[in-house]
Structure 1
Amino acid sequence: MASNNQTTGKQNYHIGYKEDTLKAFELRNVTTCLGYLVPTLEALPPTFTLLDVGCGPGSITFDLARRFPQAKIIGVDLGQEVIERNNANIPLHAPGTGIEFRAGNILEPESLFSAEEIGSGFDVVHEHTTLICIPNNIEVLRKMKQLAKKDGGIVACREGDTHSQLLWPPCPESAELQERIYEMNGLDTQTGRKLLSKALEVGFRRDQITASASVLSNITAEERLPYAGSMITMLADENSQYRRATAKFGYTEAQIEVLRKNMERMIEADDGWRLLICTEVICKLDGDS
């Protein structure tokens, strides 16, 4: 999770950091999101260093720390409040591990890391569905490459392709609003399908890249509730960007009620689910690029 104004340093994440939203993102962990990367991490020395870019509520970061307690793992995000929350939760979620969280802009690494950390680089620089939340996200991927160790460092990305999202029961009105909000914020809902192209654009050779794909899903009632519930909360909050967007686009109260009913129906439907295609790349530096 990262601000959609990562390039400017403004904290204006379009979904927000409210508790309902954080609960939805906390469904994400190593098992559900990093199956493509785990074998690579398991092959590294146990004291590897990992940078988690756009860590949000830290559910993936905490899970990594529990699985690899000797590793030095740093989660970064623009949201000061969510970073403070994460650091306060370390004794609860990952005691005795090498985890920490820092607030700042990844495009300004000197504000986040010491000169020694920047100079030595990280064994792994990772992000999960962060690029899709940032305009001109190629610059973030380029910075991730620069922060990885020049010889043997790994840049790992898993990106959603929101344009591919499927909801059942059908919610076309909700999908249309989401698309319009992404467009309003200069975001690309097809970031996932362009991920390999972006990796090549920042200078990785094709033989350095392992590409794969998987599905991010909300299928069970326990998974659908936080996702759809966070949408309902945003629709009820006059100050949320979702509600401000409906005002900007001229939505009537009746149209907003349709959006709300869509999410309520998704929560209640025994046959309901959300599917989102995600693409994945593991890029390994070898000192020649």
Structure 2
Amino acid sequence: MTPSPITRERIRHDLKARRVRVADVQHVTTNLIRVTFESEDLLDFVSAGPTDHVKLVIPDDGVAPEPVVREDRLVRPYDGILRDYTPRWYSTAMRPPQLMIDFFDHDDPGPATAWARRVRPGEVTWILGPRGSKPVPNGAESLILFADETALPSVARWIEMGPGLAISAHLIARGGDRAYLDYLTGAADPTCAANPDAPGAPRLTWHDDGDALLAAARAIDTIAPDTFVWAGGEAMLLAQLRRHLKPRCDREQAAFEGYWRSGEANYDHHAPLPD
């Protein structure tokens, strides 16, 4: 195997709890709910990587306990409900600064999805992080992405943060791909919108389920040294993707992130994927 030139920078951020107010709520697709937050506390917010995540306090009966940070750690025990989400878009130039988070509207909603369905502008909660960022890898000339609907916000960020890279994305879209196509190529910031038909535009392939996604991965026999592979979604599915793809590239060429696990509530995405 030819050594890969790809390296990944890791940027650490001080942990900070930010009090935020809901400014807007809208469905950007049938299954994606966008909540826009605003706060002067976001003035120093930084998210430099496509797969960064923040911890969002999910209010319970309208109550969002204040998280306390001491010595760069969340003081525990903490009584609030915390869930991790990708910052879809943010602007510190606006007044007040804004941050968008997109929620996948699960059929069997947990606390976060249920909150996103009912929340209205004016409600107050808290956001922690991100603790760190991994920018687009150095030395990469192309990207291969695999994702289900829960990871589409990260896919959108990969597309926005990787201009000039040849991007091929294999995506699960059970409800049809048209709205998701607009979501991925329209960009949260209209000035960054991509033309899906332009030369060099991301090549998006839509699949009906995990089996079809796995078949697409298994059709890949070799991975070029300057290609980076990223996959996000259901943990058991990602474990199968990793078994096939990992032996075909260097360690720094691939990352697999389990966002959720079927049948398990409050899955810890930091947990190692099953073998």
State the TM-score, normalized to the length of structure 1: 0.39
- The structure in which a higher percent of residues are helix is 1
- The structure in which a higher percent of residues are strand is 2
